[in-house]
Amino acid sequence: MGVNDKSGILSPALGSRVEIVSIPCHFHASKYDLLEQLFMPLLCSAQQANDLMGVRARGDRSALEAAAYMAGELLRDRSFAPVRSLSTGASNLYLLDFVADQFQVESTVFSSGAGKGALFRVSVRGRIRGDKFQVFDPVTNNQLFSFTKTEADKPDFFAREFPLLAHETRKDLTSAGDRRNTTAHEIIDLMLGVPVSGTVITVRVQKVAADSSVEVKSPANGATVMRLPLSSLNNIAKVAESIGQYLSTNTNARQLLEGSSVAAEPNQNANRVSETTEAPGSRL
């Protein structure tokens, strides 16, 4: 099995471990510390084993035969040494389950930029017979992003794009979580002018304390037109865009708001986030 020896992602020199769950059989490859070195070769070899054994047509029995074929290929490759399960650590842990059609890897990723660096673990999950993979934070199980087999086959994808995407998405999700915790007990009452088909429609955006969603209302009569998730408050421009898209496709809601008085004044807390005992001094 041909393997790319390029360097790119920094990680402890512990190699990679491959677990063929269906048999089971376990291998350690001490020379391959980087995700880019084995991801595509192992995936292509697993797909080839599937095709040779006719897994798509013959089912579970042929899946076990494909797993045995894959194990035989690794045994013949001197880069892979048979080991006991969990007997050695590794920078990358590959899990191949031919019966369940699963291809997974947990990997150490290093990302740097603006004089700062971050070292963390990610979990990549997909199907052996598929071409799309999701990347998760193994601690929170939050999905970070997804990529295709075609993207993974691009030069330097795992060395450059992959760690940058993983790091930035983890950071964004953490910030969003902190923001949700901050706004959960706040009172929000503001007016927004939303452009819809060349006209500007005024709406009132409200959230009461301890409420987990945001209400979009008519400023004239207080009727609720739609609801938005609390996390949307992280980006007011996105809130206005979402409301505009909804109103452009919902004639009844738009007519209700167009008939309301745009001169209606919100209460004294409009256009700001109210101060509360739970989050003193907070501002949107």
How does pLDDT run across 36-91, given as a tens digit for each residue? 999 999 999 999 999 999 887 787 789 999 999 999 999 999 999 998 765 557 88
The arithmetic mean of pLDDT across residues 110-128, rounded, is: 82
Q: What is the pLDDT of residues 192-225, one digit of tens each?
A: 888 888 888 888 888 776 565 678 888 888 877 7
What pLDDT score was predicted for residue 87?
A: 58
What pLDDT score was predicted for residue 144?
A: 86
Q: Is the pTM of the predicted complex or chain greater than 0.85?
A: no
For residue 96, pLDDT over 90 is answered with yes
What pLDDT score was predicted for residue 114?
A: 58
From CA 156, how far away is CA 206, in angstroms rounded? 46
Contacts 24+ apart (CB under 8 A), 124-133: 124/39, 126/102, 127/101, 127/102, 127/103, 128/43, 128/46, 128/47, 128/50, 128/96, 128/98, 128/101, 128/102, 128/103, 129/47, 129/50, 129/55, 129/56, 129/101, 130/101, 130/103, 133/103
235 versus 231: the higher-pLDDT residue is: 235
